[in-house]
Every structure is written in C-alpha cells, then in structure tokens.
Amino acid sequence: MKLAFVSDMHGNWPAFEAVLAELDRRGPFDTVYGGGDFAFNGLYPAECVQVLIDRSWPCVRGNTDEWIVEAATDGAVPAQNVPEGMEHSEDLRARDRWAVLRLNAEQIDFLKGLPLTLEVAGPSGRTLAILHATPWSAHPPVWAHADESEKRELLERAGTDAMIYGHIHHAYQEEVDGKLIGCAGAVGAPFDGDTRACFAIMTDEGGGWSIEHVRVDYDNEAYARELEASDIPGGAGSAQVIRTASM
C-alpha cells in the first residue's frame, strides 16, 4: 500500500501546483490524503481548496480551517477544543476574513465537513492515524523536538501503530515504543529551514509503515514578492517566512 499525505498548503498555489506535478510523477498512489490548513494566509485559498474537491481526496481539518469556517459562519460553527492562549488574534482573524471573501459556498462547506482524524490499515494489519495536530484537537502543536512522552500520548490516544500529522511545518519521523510517528512538513510554508515544499509518502509492503519525505522546488521568491505586493493582511511577514522557511 502506497499513500501520500499533503498538508499545510496555506493558500500557496505555486507550491501546491509543484507538489501536484510531483505526485503525478511518483504515482499512482492508493490514496492521497489532505492534512489540513489548506487556505489560510496565502494568496490562492480557493484554488487550493478546489483541487481537493475536484480530486476527491480524503482530508482532515486543520486549526486554520476551523477558524475560516468560524469566520464564514459568523461564529455559528466555532473553532473546537481550542486551548487557552491559542485563539486567533484580531490580526489573524483579519486573515481569516480575507480568505473567506475568496472562497465560495461549496468550498466553505467542504472545510466545514472535514473530520478531525482518519485511519487506514495496511497489508501488514498495522494501522495508521492521519490527522493535522492531535487526536483530540486540531490546535495544540507537538513539535519535532517535543519530549517523547508527548508523542507517546498522541499514539496512545489515536490507538494506532503509526501516525502522520502536519501543523508544525517541520518534517521529521521517529519511533516511540516501537510505533512510528512523523510530521509531513508543509507544502505552503515550511518552518524547518528548507524552503522547498514538502509532503510525505507512507508505504506498507507487508511489514509495517514507513515514511519518506519528499521535497519539491518551486519559485518561492516569486511567490514572496506576490505576497508583498498584495493586500493580504500580514503579507510582508508571510513573505519573510516563505524566504527563510522559519517562523
């Protein structure tokens, strides 16, 4: 079984388009999964979400997908299980609203209906959890350098043999108590010092799951200049993230 996990596009269509070409080159895959945070803080929210709809990828929701839905519904569908201190500030809510104005009703409904987690069993019989942040909330980050106990809790609460997630924009993988956990990195805005778009391929050939990280070049400087020239809130700061691959 060969799966792909593509997460954290953040409205960065040039990066996502390059990843789509790489997926087509490396395929076919049994399934390609979307890992959340598809639209927020980038210039092309509608284009990124529409591809997910058109390709019928199974997707999980990210924290910023929840905030966009909250903004789009005037609070009728609020962000869920948000830890104290992780609420969107007024600056971030302005970015939510900017994205909402560019998404149509079908795209908002798509984000609204996304599950928190998905699960698949490989030919080995070992299970893989697919999620954005944690099995209980799309918001708390578990960083690559987090204590092993935090990662053990993720695996225990997911109840699976392996886990792939997004959210922290930092590609890594490790074993915890014989179980595999990893972050796929980010398509739209990596934070691990590598400016290339990143996604993950998960394979089970009968002996359990493995993770391969795939880095994809795109013209990040041209996209950074687009951000700076646009009216998106926080565009200059976002351009700096794109150029440096750091927060």
pTM above 0.95, yes or no: yes
pLDDT reported for residue 233: 98
Consecutive 10-residue averages of pLDDT for the chain (247 residues): 98 98 97 98 98 98 98 98 97 98 98 98 98 98 97 98 98 98 98 98 98 98 98 98 96
Q: What is the DSSP string of 129-174?
A: EEESS-SS-SS----TTS-HHHHHHHHHHHTSSEEEE-SS---EEE
Beta bridge partners of 32: 4
Task: Say how many C-beta atoms besides its own lie within 10 A of residue 28's C-beta.
Answer: 8
Q: Identify the CATH homologous superfamily for domain 2-244.
A: Metallo-dependent phosphatases (3.60.21.10)
State the pLDDT at residue 231: 98
Pairing of strands 127-131, 162-165: parallel
How far is it, in rounded angstroms, from Cα 211 to Cα 175? 11
127-131 vs 117-121, strand pairing mode:
antiparallel
